[in-house]
Amino acid sequence: MAGHSTYVPRTAFSRWLDERLPIIRMMNDSFTTFPTPRNLNFWYTFGGILTFMLVVQIVTGIVLAMHYVPNAGLAFNSVEGRIMREVNYGWLIRYIHSNGASMFFLAVYIHMFRGLYYGSYKAPREVIWILGVFIYLLMMATAFFGYVLPWGQMSFWGATVITSLFSAIDQVVPHLGTAITQWLWGGFAVDDATLNRFFSLHYLLPFVITGVVGLHVWALHVPGNNNPLGIDVKGPQDTLPFHPYYTVKDAFYLALFVIFFAAFVFYAPNFFGNPDNYTQANPLVTPTDIVPEWYLLPFYAMLRSIPQKLIGVLVLVASLVTLLFIPWLDTSKVRSCRFRPMMKQLFWLFAADCVLLGYCGAQTVDAVRFGIPLLWLARIGTAYYLAFFWVLMPLVGWLERPKKVPDSIAKPVTGNKSAAGVKA
Residues at the contact surface with other proteins, assessed by CB under 8 A: 38, 59, 63, 66-67, 77, 80-82, 84-93, 95, 240, 244-245, 248-249, 251-252, 255-256, 258-259, 262-263, 265-267, 269-270, 275-276, 278-279, 288, 420-421, 424
Please say whether the beta carbons of 394 and 330 come within 8 A. Answer: yes
Min. distance of Cβ 63 from other proteins in angstroms?
Answer: 6
Task: Please identify, using beta-carbon distances, which residue of 12 and 420 lies nearer to other proteins.
Answer: 420
Task: Please identify, using beta-carbon distances, which residue of 63 and 316 lies nearer to other proteins.
Answer: 63
Torsion 36-41-47-51 (CA) sign? positive
Min. distance of Cβ 304 from other proteins in angstroms?
Answer: 21
Task: Please identify, using beta-carbon distances, which residue of 12 and 259 lies nearer to other proteins.
Answer: 259
Task: Please identify, using beta-carbon distances, which residue of 38 and 216 lies nearer to other proteins.
Answer: 38
Min. distance of Cβ 255 from other proteins in angstroms?
Answer: 4
Min. distance of Cβ 55 from other proteins in angstroms?
Answer: 12
User: Is 292 in a helix, a strand, or coil?
Assistant: coil
My answer on whether omega of the bond before 292 falls inside 30° of 0, hence cis, is no
CA nearest neighbour of 46 among 132, 137, 140: 132
Task: Please identify, using beta-carbon distances, which residue of 124 and 235 lies nearer to other proteins.
Answer: 235
Min. distance of Cβ 156 from other proteins in angstroms?
Answer: 14
Min. distance of Cβ 88 from other proteins in angstroms?
Answer: 4
Rounded to an integer, what distance in angstroms lies between the CA atom of residue 175 and that of residue 163? 15
Task: Please identify, using beta-carbon distances, which residue of 244 and 283 lies nearer to other proteins.
Answer: 244
Please say whether the beta carbons of 226 and 114 come within 8 A. Answer: no
Min. distance of Cβ 307 from other proteins in angstroms?
Answer: 27
Task: Please identify, using beta-carbon distances, which residue of 63 and 75 lies nearer to other proteins.
Answer: 63
Write the CA distances from 404 to 204, 338, 341, integer angstroms. 48, 10, 11
Cα-atom radius of gyration of the chain, to the nearest Å?
24
- By DSSP bridging, strand 239-241 and strand 35-37 are antiparallel
Min. distance of Cβ 284 from other proteins in angstroms?
Answer: 11
Task: Please identify, using beta-carbon distances, which residue of 96 and 190 lies nearer to other proteins.
Answer: 96
Task: Please identify, using beta-carbon distances, which residue of 312 and 361 lies nearer to other proteins.
Answer: 361
User: Is 40 in a helix, a strand, or coil?
Assistant: coil
Please say whether the beta carbons of 291 and 274 come within 8 A. Answer: yes
Q: Can you say whether residue 207 is alpha, beta or left, with left for phi > 0 and alpha for psi between -120 and 50 degrees?
A: alpha
Write the CA distances from 274 to 36, 79, 134, integer angstroms. 42, 15, 28
Q: At what angle do helices 153-164 and 192-220 cross, to 10 degrees?
A: 70
Rounded to an integer, what distance in angstroms lies between the CA atom of residue 127 and that of residue 319? 19
Min. distance of Cβ 406 from other proteins in angstroms?
Answer: 17
Min. distance of Cβ 337 from other proteins in angstroms?
Answer: 24
Task: Please identify, using beta-carbon distances, which residue of 79 and 315 lies nearer to other proteins.
Answer: 79
What does the DSSP assignment read for 113-165? HHHHHTTTTSTT-HHHHHHHHHHHHHHHHHHHHHHHTT-BHHHHHHHHHHHHG
Write the CA distances from 5 to 27, 28, 35, 246, integer angstroms. 11, 9, 11, 19
